[in-house]
Amino acid sequence: MEQILLAQTPGKPQWTRVEWAQQILLHAYTHSSTHHSAPLLTAIGYINWWEGRGSKAHQ
């Protein structure tokens, strides 16, 4: 998992899978309590940063 999150894999990202994962994280965020929102928002922010959307990641 660490290799994937730090982009240390030999292959290129499968962006459709990344978008799908982001949608799952957003769905989980909308159905979670504020106690559990930080890890979900961190993962969503990281995906946005990884895709080159720094401003959206900052939000």
Q: What is the pLDDT of residues 8-50, one digit of tens each?
A: 777 777 889 889 999 999 999 999 988 889 999 999 998 898 8
Nearest CA-CA partner of 29 in 15, 50, 16, 43: 43
pLDDT over 80 at 54, yes or no: yes
pTM above 0.85, yes or no: no
Q: At what angle do helices 37-50 and 15-30 cross, to 10 degrees?
A: 150
The C-alpha atoms of residue 58 and residue 14 are separated, in whole angstroms, by: 23
Confidence band, pLDDT 50/70/90 cuts, at residue 1: low
Nearest CA-CA partner of 50 in 10, 15, 23: 15
pLDDT of 6? 66
pLDDT of 41? 92
Q: Could you tell me the two tokens for 48?
A: 């946005």
